[in-house]
Amino acid sequence: MSVPETLARARAPRALEAAKPVAAPAEAEPNVEAGGLMARISRLWERDPVPDAAAVEPLLNARLTDVAANKLARLWCAGYTAADGKRRRAMLGALAQAAEACRERSEPCTRMFKRFNALPDGLRFLVDLRADMLRWRKQVAGLQPLDKELEELLSAWFDVGLLELRRLTWDSPASLLEKLIIYEAVHEIRSWDDLRHRVAGDRRCYAYFHPQMPDVPLIFVEVAFSAQMADDVQALLDTQAPAPDLDKARWAIFYSISNTQAGLRGISFGNFLLKRVIERLLEEQPRLKSFATLSPMPGLRDWLSKLSAQEVEQIVREGKNRVRAGAPDGARWAERLARSATGKPSEALRRAGLRLAAHYVQAMKNGQPVDPVARFHLGNGARAERLNWAADVSAKGLQQSCGMMVNYLYELDKLDDNLSRLGQGKPSASRAIARLA
Contacts of residue 167, defined as CB under 8 A and 6 or more positions apart, other chains included, come to 204, 205, 206, 280
What crossing angle do the helices spanning 347-361 and 330-340 adopt, rounded to 10°?
A: 120
* Range list of H helices, 158-224: 174-183, 192-198
Identify the three-state secondary structure at position 240.
coil
Inter-residue contact 273 to 377 (CB < 8 Å): no
What crossing angle do the helices spanning 143-157 and 122-136 adopt, rounded to 10°?
A: 140
Supply the DSSP symbol for 199: T
What gap in Å lies between CA 58 and CA 11, rounded to an integer? 40
CA dihedral 44, 49, 54, 59 (to 10 degrees): 100
CA 75 to chain CA centroid, nearest Å: 31
Rounded to 5 degrees, φ, ψ at 112 are -65, -45
Identify whether 377 is a catalytic site residue.
yes
Identify whether 187 is a catalytic site residue.
no
User: Between β-strands 164-167 and 204-209, what pairing exists: parallel, antiparallel or unpaired?
Assistant: antiparallel
Which residue, 122, 146, 181, is CA-closest to 2? Answer: 181
Inter-residue contact 283 to 165 (CB < 8 Å): no
Out of 187, 377, 401, 428, pick the active-site residue.
Answer: 377
Identify the three-state secondary structure at position 353.
helix
Out of 295, 340, 401, 428, pick the active-site residue.
Answer: 295
CA dihedral 78, 81, 86, 90 (to 10 degrees): 40
- Indicate the helix (H) or strand (E) that contains 386: strand 383-388
Taken as a whole, the chain contains a residue count of 437
How far the first Cα of the chain sits from its last, in Å, is 50
What gap in Å lies between CA 306 and CA 364, rounded to an integer? 16
Which amino acids are annotated catalytic? Answer: 295, 377
